[in-house]
């Protein structure tokens, strides 16, 4: 039987789980559609069958003024119920119960509430077994006797038979440093517990798996580290059923410097080429070092002051973001892993950028203008019809409205029920419907909650310039959370019909291949959160086999491209195909057992990648990279990515978000400082407008 992985959760205080045990995951398939259904009463217009027909335009309505009233669906056999999704008409229930039964006589409550608020109520943390599933309404939202209860859709999700171990281990104790060398760190931790047994521990550094131990071993070593660098180490526990714990607390460890004090030789034969209005190419002869050259820095020297304008691990670079018709005096240094840096190259390379404001295809990316700053992690970002932008502060859990023309900004509200993860979770994705936002003003948001990752929508009030949190609707919930690998990017199809979301594997690679689990997937839903009838697996999943999706973008042909983090070998850019399997965890990029999986269109070494957001303008794909501190630009030709170039290498630091801007440019946001600790307002970020070809 296919393993089902569920996470423990605690519902909001207004609701009470009536059964204890593990929580099933919300990607279990829809079981109720088209099944026999019975109701206490029904009106002539609105029969009980309409509640399970998959069409939110139809509905079941009970007779007015009758409490209690009920509706139940016959699933044909006993199943394990993990989720019930209620989509109410205006006649909702303030108080109701969800129950399961095998005989229609004895009912076991698995959920109850007295604070129902209508709309879409997606109950993803249920745990019960039965053939029949019932909604029993005991108090109506509309107390007038003319009204009863009315459900547009009554969706029941689960798996046949149930059973098996679904309880995750507890988080391990906080790691402690045992010893460190310039290239390794050994840590120990307190044991996790499990209802059966802990079988393994996984050690992560800054979100990357670096070592594993058996379940009875509470110490491990991560190798291949760099000297004099601070890493964040934490541990997850696993059991034999594949259930993965939440992460331990993070322990920072700084590796000591090595005894290498020798500087690399000075780069020679530095030459300029391809001088444009906003960029210049440089190349040089490689330096040498007694251990090894790690990379090169490029400086502009003016008035005796050296300003860093780029860095690379190769022997050539395109220095971008320059000012037209301006003199620059460029110098290159070499450095090694221990931080030893050579003297600057001589003589200085004197160049003057050309004049003009055009941006040609040979340039690719041109004028860069800073339009704002922020002290939090800038994640999701959208352009409003008037040309201003909204963006999420990931760790502060707020949405900011900024006018790029003036730099003025205002916090429009705090998104409810967001909880960070001391890692990558928090307030992540932000999107608007390109076809309907001007009339409906819905903001589509992805965030981490205390129990899961979820997709919600909340109205924006343009007149008051504020977030109407009372309008919140939960569209998808039950996406497992963890310290890292929480995904978060949202993207509407160009026609506005479907919302796509990228999720992470919640640090459990098995999730990515589980078609009854929303993690490690591209999801596709209707704007109201219902599941499109042509989705390939009968749930929200569109594609599977992803590690941690960070970027989604559509090209001019309406094709979806996706960007995801690799572990330690390579990141990847994928062209998304309905129902496609992209290989994780067996395959990372093109490394591993990759037969039978869809191959990426482009890969990037993690050391020059850790790429996050993507956008497409004029059928050129722009990829923002964090560890790589650069933008990759690829031209889309058929189903291939060609004429690849790198921009801003080391110029602005870590780059996370790129989004289309009006008039064919892009917005670009940095991710410098505080992007791995969930502490609000401890970052130093900038938002730019970039002119592109």
The full DSSP string for 557-596 is TS-EEEEE--SSSEEEEEE--TT-B--TTTEETTEES-TT
Nearest CA to 173 out of 187, 157, 153, 158 is that of 187
The two tokens of residue 127 are 């745990």
Q: How far apart are CA 182 and CA 180, in angstroms?
A: 7
For 441, what's the count of Cα atoms within 13 Å in the CB-facing half-sphere?
13
Q: Are 249 and 177 in contact (CB under 8 A)?
A: no
> What are the residues whose beta carbons fall under 8 Å from the beta carbon of 401, sequence distance 6 or more?
388, 389, 390, 409, 410, 411, 412, 465
Single out the residue of 660, 654, 671, 629 nearest to residue 317, CA to CA. Answer: 629
> Tokens in use for 75?
């699933």
CA 225 from chain centre, in angstroms, equals: 26
* Structure token pair of residue 422: 């001391």
Q: Which residues contact 340 (CB under 8 A, 6 or more apart)?
A: 260, 261, 262, 263, 264, 289
What gap in Å lies between CA 623 and CA 626, rounded to an integer? 10
How far apart, in Å, are the Cα atoms of 498 and each of 359, 524, 575, 618? 34, 6, 17, 22
Contact assessment for residue 99 and residue 107, using Cβ atoms and an 8 Å cutoff = yes
Are 112 and 96 in contact, with CB atoms under 8 Å apart?
yes
C-beta separation of 201 from 244 below 8 A: no
Report helix, strand or coil for 229. Answer: coil
CB atoms within 10 A of CB 558: 9
Kindly name the residue from 485, 546, 634, 689 that is annotated as catalytic: 485
Dihedral of alpha carbons 475, 476, 482, 487, sign: negative
Q: Quick check: is 485 catalytic?
A: yes
Distance between terminal CA atoms of the chain? 53
The token pair that represents 315 in the structure block: 């022997």
Residues 6+ apart with CB under 8 A from 117: 92, 94, 141
Q: Three-class SS of residue 512? A: helix
Tell me the HSE value of 327 on the side-chain side, using a 13 A CA sphere: 6
Both tokens of 41, joined, read: 């009463």
Within 13 Å, how many C-alpha atoms sit on residue 618's CB side? Answer: 15
Distance CA 328, CA 300 (A): 6
DSSP state, residue 607: G
Tokens at 432, concatenated: 């608007």
Phi, then psi, of 82 in degrees rounded to 5: -110, -15
Which contiguous run of DSSP H or E holds residue 440? helix 437-440
Task: List the structure tokens of 161.
Answer: 């038979």
The closest alpha carbon to 358, from 324, 391, 331, belongs to 324
Count the residues in the chain. 693
Q: 602: helix, coil or strand?
A: strand
Neighbours of 284 (CB within 10 A): 21
Using CA atoms, how far residue 564 sits from 178, 406, 496, 561, 599, in Å, is 33, 34, 24, 10, 13
Tell me which residues are annotated as active site.
485
């Amino acid at each position: 039987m296919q393993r089902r992985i569920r996470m423990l959760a605690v519902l909001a205080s207004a609701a009470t789980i009536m059964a204890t045990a593990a929580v099933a995951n919300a990607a279990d398939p829809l079981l109720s559609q088209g099944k026999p259904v019975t109701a206490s009463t029904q009106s002539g217009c609105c029969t009980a069958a309409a509640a399970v027909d998959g069409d939110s335009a139809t509905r079941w309505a009970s007779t007015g003024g009758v409490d209690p009233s009920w509706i139940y669906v016959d699933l044909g056999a006993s199943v394990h119920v993990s989720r019930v999704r209620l989509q109410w008409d205006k006649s909702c229930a303030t108080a109701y119960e969800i129950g399961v039964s095998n005989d229609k006589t004895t009912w076991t409550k698995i959920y109850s509430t007295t604070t129902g608020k209508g709309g879409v109520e997606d109950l993803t943390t249920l745990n019960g077994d039965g053939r029949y599933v019932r909604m029993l309404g005991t108090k109506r939202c509309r107390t007038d006797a003319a009204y009863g209860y009315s459900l547009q859709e009554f969706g029941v999700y689960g798996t046949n038979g149930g059973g098996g171990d679904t309880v995750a281990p507890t988080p391990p104790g906080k790691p402690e440093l045992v010893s460190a060398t310039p290239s390794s760190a050994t840590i120990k931790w307190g044991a996790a517990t499990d209802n059966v047994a802990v079988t393994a521990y996984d050690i992560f550094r800054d979100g990357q798996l670096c070592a594993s131990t058996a379940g009875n071993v509470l110490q491990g070593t991560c190798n291949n580290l760099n000297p004099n660098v601070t890493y964040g180490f934490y541990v997850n526990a696993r059991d034999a059923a594949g259930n993965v714990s939440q992460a331990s607390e993070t322990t920072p460890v700084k590796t000591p410097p090595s005894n290498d004090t020798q500087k690399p030789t000075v780069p020679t034969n530095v030459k300029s080429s391809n001088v444009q209005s906003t960029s210049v190419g440089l190349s040089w002869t490689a330096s040498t070092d007694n251990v090894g050259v790690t990379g090169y820095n490029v400086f502009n020297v003016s008035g005796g002051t050296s300003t860093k304008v780029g860095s690379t691990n190769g022997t050539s670079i395109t220095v971008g973001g320059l000012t037209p018709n301006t003199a620059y005096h460029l110098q290159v240094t070499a450095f090694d892993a221990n931080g030893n840096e050579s003297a600057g190259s001589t003589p200085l390379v004197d160049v003057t950028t050309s004049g003009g404001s055009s941006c040609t295809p040979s340039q690719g990316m041109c004028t860069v203008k800073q339009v704002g700053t922020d002290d939090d992690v800038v994640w999701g970002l959208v352009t409003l019809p008037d040309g201003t932008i909204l963006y999420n502060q990931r760790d502060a859990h707020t949405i900011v409205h900024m006018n790029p023309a003036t730099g003025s900004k205002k916090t429009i509200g705090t998104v409810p029920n967001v909880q960070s993860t001391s890692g990558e979770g928090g307030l992540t994705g932000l999107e608007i419907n390109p076809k309907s936002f001007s009339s409906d003003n819905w903001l589509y948001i992805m965030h981490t909650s205390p129990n899961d990752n979820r997709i919600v929508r909340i109205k924006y009030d343009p007149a008051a310039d504020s977030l109407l949190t009372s309008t919140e609707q939960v569209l998808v919930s039950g996406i497992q959370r963890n310290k890292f690998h929480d995904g978060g990017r949202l993207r509407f199809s160009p026609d506005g019909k479907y919302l796509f979301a990228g999720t992470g594997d919640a640090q459990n690679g098995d999730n990515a291949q589980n078609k009854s689990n929303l993690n490690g997937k591209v999801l596709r839903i209707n704007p109201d959160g219902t599941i499109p009838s042509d989705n390939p697996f009968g749930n929200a999943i569109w594609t599977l086999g992803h590690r941690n999706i960070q970027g989604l973008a559509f090209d001019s042909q309406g094709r979806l491209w996706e960007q995801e983090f690799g572990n330690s070998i390579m990141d990847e850019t994928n062209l998304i195909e309905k129902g496609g399997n992209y290989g994780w965890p067996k395959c990372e990029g093109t490394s591993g057992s990759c037969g039978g999986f869809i191959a990426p269109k482009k890969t990037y070494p993690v050391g020059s990648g850790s790429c996050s957001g993507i956008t497409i303008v004029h059928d050129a794909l722009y990829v923002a990279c964090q560890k790589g501190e650069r933008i990759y630009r690829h031209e889309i030709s058929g189903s291939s990515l060609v004429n690849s170039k790198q921009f801003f290498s080391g110029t602005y630091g870590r780059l996370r978000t790129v989004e289309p801007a009006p008039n064919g440019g892009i917005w670009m946001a940095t991710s410098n400082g505080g992007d791995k600790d969930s502490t609000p307002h401890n970052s130093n970020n900038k938002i730019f407008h970039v002119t592109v070809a």
